[in-house]
Structure 1
Amino acid sequence: MTEAVTEQETAVEEPEQAPPADPSLHQPKRWLIAAGELVAVVLLVVLAVWCWNRGVVRLEYPFEGREPLVSTRYHGNWLGSAVLAATLAVVLALDAVRQIMLAVRTRPQEAADSDM
């Protein structure tokens, strides 16, 4: 019996080189993102104040010959919405500060290449 000898070519594929990535952290366009977030923060604070004012209702019951009885009624759905809007405003404000810090630290490409 004859045995057939087969040659197997071992082809090692080289991984494709990824295209050079642009700097993802230091981008000047982050100023626009921060400005948009600050506008959203202002709108959320206004929304939170409006919701809070709708959630607290003061009632007065008049009596003859005495001062009126004043009571306060709290609506939980409005107060919860106010707390949610304020929390979102704080989170967006923190992210806006982060975006501003990354935009300020932007370096020209020549200076970034010379550090290597």
Structure 2
Amino acid sequence: MTEAATEPETVVDDEPAEAPADGQGLHQPKRWLIAAAEAVAIVLLVVAAVWCWNRGVVQLSYPVEGREPLVSTRYHGNWLGTATAALTLAVVLVLDAVRQVVLAARTRPQKAAEADM
């Protein structure tokens, strides 16, 4: 006779995993400081982006006798690219700052967290 192949039994653990004892969980109040530092970095990056953009667009005026001067605009790609990169980094930091604030705001005292279980 042949024996039927049996699969190993899987054990289901109904108890939730405990948070690490060393305080390395997701919800940490120090995230407010990280979000504040990112907010400062966002402001600095936006100011740098505006400054770089203004340096990247140059208006040139050529005088012509008997008419209005000819005005042309010259674009410097290195400054415009730097401005775009700074603004992109600022947007990424905005997303992370929102994430940090949400995680910091959801921090609950340990007794309240245990009472919910």
Q: Do both proteins adopt the same fold according to a TM-score greater than 0.5, normalized to the shorter chain?
A: yes
RMSD over equivalenced CA pairs, Å: 1.3
TM-score (norm 1): 0.80
Percent identical: 77
Q: Which runs of 5+ in 2 are unaligned?
A: 1-19
Aligned to 2:34: 33
Q: Which runs of 5+ in 1 are unaligned?
A: 1-18
Q: Describe the SS at the equivalent of 2:60.
A: strand
> Following TM superposition, by how much is the alpha carbon of 1:21 offset from its aligned partner in structure 2, in angstroms?
5.0
Q: Please give the alpha-carbon distance, in whole angstroms, between the structure 2 residues aligned to 1:20 and 1:99.
A: 21
Within a 5 Å distance, the mapping from 1:46-57 to structure 2 comes to: 46-57=47-58
Q: Output the CA distance in 1 between the equivalents of 2:59 and 2:114.
A: 65
In structure 1, C-alpha distance between the alignment counterparts of 2:24 and 2:70, rounded to whole Å: 65
Aligned to 1:65: 66
Scaled by the length of structure 2, what TM-score is found? 0.80
Shift of 1:22: 2.8
Q: How many residues align?
A: 98
C-alpha displacement at 1:52, in angstroms?
0.3
